[in-house]
Structure 1
């Protein structure tokens, strides 16, 4: 037992060491392109969202977690609507609401590599991916700056450029060193659309790791100082429920703890219910009570002293046995019947004669003694013993 205890302690220590190692192990960097404002991973926008109050002083910065149409139903709404994501999605209803919002003198800033066809067709421009991935394609500058400062966003990323119809009044604001347009503004009504094809330039990696926050700040400085509506709906969907489960799902360790606790509870209920299940009773096969019934009736007759009645029933059962087993007529107990019984059953001739004589004596008597009944029983048992082990004679 002591040896087993040492093994158990060793296993517990090893398991604890494994848990601690997993807990303190550095987590791998998540390079997912989320663009969400709460994410501090390289391609989140936590740093930029934190920078907005200084870019738009004394103006409200509001996170939007609903579709474009829902927000812009309020026609009195004014300011800058900012979208930064890999893909800008808007159906015809959302696009019309956005066009109406800009036409009233507001601004929409979109930084995306792919833009909804409803908007590109209306504003007469398109996005294209560069086939080659040269340093020039990821080196960006603003055309409005007299001395072109070059900003580089993460290498090994596929560059996207804008192709615009110059007759539609588009104004170039930025290009890459290869000469392709990547930032422009498009007039619509009293307002402007600002289109940028390099959303990675607005991420945490660009602002913090590359220390190039000036690019995002310069791009957004084209917008007037007005309230900012920061879209998170296209990246996260609607606002989550404010229940406690939302907190569990936001943090990976808490999420795993919740799932493990839930699985443990299910296993406990399964095994607990199995251990406390009601015992199924053993079903005994039905008993043949015929013999018990016969013994009871026999005891009743014997105790009442009616020995002849018992003897007559034994005689009737014996004669019935002869009829069924040997197909003999037992109406008359004569010598011919005795000989046929001896031949067919193989029983001793003297025994059969004794049985016949005793049956005749009992039938002629009004009553018999217990000794006579016992004699009849012994004769019949001896007959059954002889006929059960000796072969039957042919008819």
Structure 2
């Protein structure tokens, strides 16, 4: 039992130490491209999201976890800018129709993604070349077209090559090229539509934490966002095309969304498994209670005795007791009781050690009971004499 408890204690301590080591160990750098406003990893968008309030001081910044159609359809917007910056932008026909109506009403939709849906590209009149790669040796270079904002030195990125560009613009009359890469290919355009405009950037990683943190690149990102008029009063930041709808679908979402609660949940599950594993062979089944067998012979004797006692049949009782005494003599001393004469008396005295007078008295009772009635006093004398014989015979 002691070794069992010791094993459990050691196992629990090792598990706790392992969990603490996992929690406090240095976390490896996550290079996953998320472009999410809450992610501080290199390719998250934590920095640019928190710049929006500075770039648009009059605006209220909100986050959307709904598709474009659900957010924009059948709702009136004024002076609103919608930022959809994502690795991919999978819009359908309804999303695009709602987006076009939103822009035509005088609002602005800022889009940046490595991949745009075919329907959206056709609507904007563009086609894209995907040259998105990772390479630590080469470096992409981008800049603006307007001389007033074009930097003397191109903006570069040493980790991610962001050379995506628009290889064709089918509506030049409504499209303005705002930026190009070092090959002179357009990667940032404005598409006028009604009272508003689409701003489309082919390289979304320029809005990542990694790109902005590089010396001088923050100016490029801030300038690109500044093409949206500062007079807007509402800024909507999209998270749907990166994370999906708000909230986890599992009932355990509260635990899974919090790192420490998630570890507590796993610790509880592992502890229960350890308890089951250590106890599965340690516990034996319940032993059923078996009622001991009753002495039926004793009950039978008590029943018979009760019958004779209540009937006041002293003669029958005395006769039974004397017959039982004679049976005892035959079984114990191997003496025949067919003739209760002097020879019988002398032989029983010799073998039992009981006095001659006492044995003769019992033989007398045998003959008396056969022919006479038995009073209570005589029954008691017979019973005492027989008990005395048993005691003396067993002691010898």
TM-score range (shorter-chain normalised) is 0.5 to 0.7
Query: Which residue is equivalent to 1:27?
Result: 27
Cα deviations by residue, 1:343-390 (Å, 9 ceiling, x for unpaired) = xxxxxxxxxxxxxxxxxxxxxxxxxxxxxxxxxxxxxxxxxxxxxxxx
C-alpha separation in 1, matches of 2:33 and 2:62: 22
CA gap of 1:131–1:269, structure 2 versus 1, over 3 A, is closer
CA–CA distance in 1 between the matches of 2:132 and 2:24? 42
Partner of 1:265: 272
- How far apart are the structure 2 equivalents of 1:148 and 1:70? 39
Deviates more, 1:14-23 or 1:175-184: 14-23
Report which stretch shifted further, 12-21 or 189-198: 12-21
Measured after TM superposition, the shift of residue 177 of structure 1 is 1.2
1:28-47 to structure 2, matched below 5 A, reads 28-47=28-47
Q: Which residue of 2 aligns with 1:124?
A: 125
Q: How does 1:1-395 map to 2 (within 5 A)?
A: 21-78=21-78, 79-130=80-131, 138-146=140-148, 147-149=150-152, 150-157=154-161, 159-163=163-167, 164-210=169-215, 212-225=217-230, 226=232, 227-240=234-247, 245-266=252-273, 268=275, 278-279=285-286
Question: 1:154-208: per-residue Cα shift (whole Å, max 9, x none)?
Answer: 4343521112125452100000111111000011122111000111110111222
Describe the superposition over 1:108-149 as per-residue Cα deviations: whole angstroms up to 9, x where unpaired.
000111111111111110110249999897111111233434
- Identify the range of structure 1 (170-179 vs 207-216) with the bigger mean alpha-carbon deviation: 207-216
- CA-CA distance at 1:272 after TM superposition: 5.7
**Distance in 2, Cα, partners of 1:246 & 1:7:** 34
Q: Distance in 2 between matches of 1:20 and 1:274?
A: 30
Size of the aligned set, in residue pairs, is 282
TM-aligned CA distance change 1:103 to 1:28, over 3 Å:
same
Q: 1:269 Cα deviation (Å)? A: 5.6
The whole-number CA distance in structure 1 between the counterparts of 2:267 and 2:17 is 19
Structure 2 contact 35–86 (Cα < 8 Å) conserved: yes
SS where residue 161 of structure 2 aligns?
coil
- Cα RMSD of the aligned pairs, angstroms, is 3.8
1:168 & 1:277 partners in 2: Cα distance? 87
**Cα deviation per residue 1:61-81 (whole Å; 9 max; x = unaligned)?**
110011111111243123111
> What SS class does the counterpart of residue 35 from structure 2 fall into?
coil
**Structure 2: stretches of 5+ with no match in the other structure:** 289-396
**How far is the alpha carbon of 1:253 from its aligned partner?**
4.4
Aligned residue number for residue 366 of structure 1:
none
TM (normalized to structure 1)?
A: 0.62
Question: Normalized against structure 2, the TM-score is what?
Answer: 0.62
Contact 2:133 / 2:160 at 8 angstroms: preserved in 1?
A: no
**How far, CA to CA, are the matches of 1:9 and 1:71 in structure 2?**
55
Change (3 A) 1:110 1:241: same
